[in-house]
Chains A and B, each alone.
Chain A
Amino acid sequence: MLASTAAATAQTRPAFEVDRIADGVFVHSGLQAEADDRNHGDIANLGFVIGADCVAVIDTGGSPYVGRALRRAIEVRTSTPVCYVVNTHMHPDHVFGNAAFADTDARYIAAAGFAHALAARRMTYLERAERTLGVAVSDGWIVMPDDVVDSRMRLDLGGRSLELTAWADAHTDNDLTVFDEASHTLFTGDLLFVDRVPAIDATLSGWLDVTASLDARAREVVHVVPGHGPVGQGLDAMLAPQTRYLEAIRDQVQSSIDDGYDLAYTTTHVARGERDRWLLFDDYHVRNVTAAYTELEWQ
């Protein structure tokens, strides 16, 4: 395993592509794929915002390898220090690059539920990363926040500010969005999946509620950086397909329970019409239906 790590490091590193989507706002688009030994877990969208005094990083990718590539992309564009590494939630594809910033003075920031949620899944996440990425992992991959967002927090980057918002249980129990007021850019984290099928890790009904709250702010937002999928404009239109999918699951699972169908039958019959509309549908859909069924059956 160590040999393969060395081999990967020795390879010529491909340039880490980032797009400038607004003045001082850069995004790296992760692949729409599962993490594997070829993509190093580079499957989530990552970003950074450059102010006069500080850079803030928003998510760091699925391995330290990806985090280091992101750090190089920042360093070739600015000598301004990274003061903050913000995590939008605790999933490995968004946080396992955190270690790449461990030797900086950056403060790690996440929502209140982040530390507990990551700690509880630590072994499972590390084991899975080692298996799927094919590299040796270490506890250094687990980086806990220095500062916690209970509801709102502002980060002053010098000449521009970011507004961080922690949400009620939705995709996970520690979802956080980042809004750059200067460019009206919203980093949604995984509260928004575009093209890639959403994955429910906390609560379906909560996610739909939070979606409605996000949608209510759509007019303030110009640029939207989803957790997965292409960057775009028009938050309400970008949220619509995901809402349709989540509502289809909610409504059809509820009908299935009302009609007396059991879990096994329901997982193979609900919202199959969505199958051709999403990437990685077969990898996550049954789990989504299982989550919805066990959430709704006692209500």
Chain B
Amino acid sequence: MTIKPSYNAAHTDVAPTRARASTAMLWLAGLCLLALMSTAVADVQRRDQDEAAWKSLRVEYFGDRAIADGQDVVTLDAPYRAEDPAVVPITITDQRAGTEASPIHKLWLVIDNNPVPMSAAFEFGPAARSATLALRVRVNSYTYIRVLAESSDGQLYMVKRYVKASGGCSAPIGRDLDAARNNMGQMRLRRVRVDGSDETRSQLMIRHPNITGLQMDQLTRLVEPPHFVDAITLRKGDALVLESTMTFSLSANPSLQFDVARDAAGDLGAQVHDNKGNEFRQTWPAEPGAAPTQTTADGKT
């Protein structure tokens, strides 16, 4: 194709309309005022404001229950500056596992400034070795990430981390949306190593586009409706490892690391539900002594 120089060609303006633009700019200006206040001062002010946001969330989710500092109960690892806001790896480590202290039986994950802050809730059963978890989340703007932990004696604890990342919920859907839909519900189970030691955890990988509903196609003005995994239940034999509910704060192709009791017998079963009512089930036979790298999900390695 050759285009000849055309000095008089009409200039096509495909930019969005001015009315929409000015509304967007007002909103942007407000949003960005804080960011423009320089550095450390703005950071502190911002965090104070974020703490204020939590105060109302706290009442909404936990009423007037006492919440103790949880730093000796669970640790939350998250990158301070998340390089990819749509895939922020976080790890929640249960420090009570293997101790005499009252075990953690519930966890909540709150991402203060995400569209739906209450991002996930987990309840652990007898086949869980600990309440340790790792998952990948979306972070929509600079925010505290909080983990609340309830021990079986009814005590509530909290830890938090500040994470700098933005755009995770509105990040464009992967170009392979059709592929993601075709493979939706495909699952794999693998053993993963989390540090230099031989310590391993189980990782459930789920193929799912996990659409937030905030990823607008600016050309068509269409918003892809939300479609995300909203519940995961794991059992070892008949015993519960964990049951959980979640929102689109989980990244596309959700990944969940968990810790199964060493003495729990039987197959591992996963039951995954999404907000459109789809249900996916898969079972992996118990393989004592299986190599850490073995993939037993769908015949693929």
Contact = CB atoms under 8 A, between A and B. Distances in A.
- Whether chain B is bound by chain A comes out as yes
A136 B29 contact: yes
Contacts of A155: 2-3
A102 B13 CA distance: 9
A115 B219 contact: yes
B136 interface: yes
A291 B1 contact: no
Given A152-B1, A169-B175, A173-B175, A119 B292 contact: no
Contacts of A158: 5
A297 B190 CA distance: 11
| Interface range for A | 35 or more
Contacts of B172: 117, 120-121
Contacts of A294: 87, 253
B191 A81 contact: no
B124 to A, nearest CB: 20
B293 A138 contact: no
A263 B293 contact: no
Contact of A146 (B12, B28, B216): B12
B179 to A, nearest CB: 10
Contact of B170 (A53, A124, A259): A124
A105 B24 contact: no
B52 interface: no
Contacts of B167: 124, 127
A239 to B, nearest CB: 25
B99 interface: no
20 contacts: A102-B11, A105-B9, A109-B3, A116-B219, A119-B218, A131-B32, A131-B36, A139-B18, A139-B21, A142-B15, A142-B16, A144-B14, A158-B5, A262-B134, A263-B136, A264-B77, A290-B83, A291-B84, A294-B253, A297-B205
Given A81-B7, A127-B167, A261-B192, 17 more contacts: A54-B5, A107-B6, A117-B172, A127-B28, A128-B166, A130-B32, A130-B35, A146-B9, A153-B2, A154-B1, A154-B3, A259-B193, A262-B257, A286-B83, A287-B84, A290-B87, A290-B89
Interface of A: 1, 53-54, 81, 83-84, 102, 105, 107, 109, 115-117, 119-124, 126-128, 130-131, 134, 136-140, 142-144, 146-147, 152-158, 169, 173, 202, 258-265, 267, 284, 286-287, 290-291, 294, 297-298
